[in-house]
Amino acid sequence: MNRQFPVHGAGLGLRRTFSGPLADDPCAGIDFLEVAPENWIGVGGLYGRQLWRLTERYPFVAHGLSLSLGGPSPLDEAFLHRVRQFLDQHGFRCYTEHLSYCTDDGHLYDLMPIPFTEDAVQHVARRIRRTQDILERRIAIENVSYYAAPGQRMSELEFINAVLEEADCDLLLDVNNIYVNSVNHGYDAEAFLLGLPGERVAYLHIAGHYDEAEDLIIDTHGADVIDPVWRLLERAYAAFGVMPTLLERDFNIPPLATLLLEVDRIRQLQSDWQRGGERRHARHA
């Protein structure tokens, strides 16, 4: 698949505990970094200076937490103008948000599932198009983990594809969320993956989770990535080609050096699949 991505290689979600070490001693083992704008807009002092140093050295992407694309409350356009200024100031390569909602007359402090209905497709797509107009750039939406599907009239896969088409936006493909949902809702993870439009993928997420029960996984981003998720990542590379991939870790955060081992595993998989693709191309040339 010959296409341009906003970033390349293997990335890591930036935590403030890492900003100092990375700013003081840039690590060649990270190709790009991701932050939530809500956690950094308006931040000054030491952390603000560290962010400036990092955005001068690394490509950055932004992953929003609070836009509530599927919510009933009016879209927060004032916030979006602040986001645009933040993205422009630091030269961010991409802005993404969750295909979910988190407001209803106030913040719910969780990512709630949008009903899988045609009305919801139209509602979310309008808000995505407006977001893109204000930000003056395409955005990517992330497939999210969910634990209930109220009012469902179409499948999760049908819903995601319909929103992408109607809004004409890109996809932040979360490999772990596919695996989590496949266990919780009893579907085939690989078939779901292959049903997504690879040509719309901006980059990938990979993360760990918590096994609450045999048929219930909680998406915590608080553990190491497990082998079935690594295999699903490889399947994504096989289906769509090697794509930029970011490791998320939000809780139980180990030392940076430990996380870099997983980032390096992403890079090694990318290298293996890249070499394999070159060999396959040479055989058919």
Q: What are phi and psi of 172, to 5 degrees?
A: -95, 105
The pair of three-digit structure tokens given for residue 111, joined into one six-digit string: 């990512």
**CA dist., res. 55 & res. 26, Å (int):** 11
Radius of gyration of the chain (CA): 18
Mapping DSSP to helix (H, G, I), strand (E, B) and coil, where does residue 225 land?
A: coil
Contact predicate 194/239, CB 8 Å:
yes
272 pLDDT higher than 80: yes
Residue-level pLDDT at 278:
56
Position with higher pLDDT, 102 vs 82: 82
Contact predicate 240/198, CB 8 Å:
yes
Residue-level pLDDT at 279:
55
220 pLDDT higher than 90: no
Mapping DSSP to helix (H, G, I), strand (E, B) and coil, where does residue 33 land?
A: strand
Q: What is the pTM of this model?
A: 0.92
Instruction: Tell which residue, 40, 244, 55, 44, has the closest CA to residue 140.
Output: 244
Strand pairing report for 216-218 and 210-213: antiparallel
Cβ neighbours for 104, distance < 8 A, ≥ 6 positions apart: 71, 72, 73
70 pLDDT higher than 80: yes
Strand pairing report for 101-103 and 107-112: antiparallel
Beta bridge partners of 140: 96, 170
Residue-level pLDDT at 235:
97
Ordered domains of the chain (ranges, CATH): 10-284 (3.20.20.150)
Contact predicate 30/246, CB 8 Å:
no
130 pLDDT higher than 80: yes
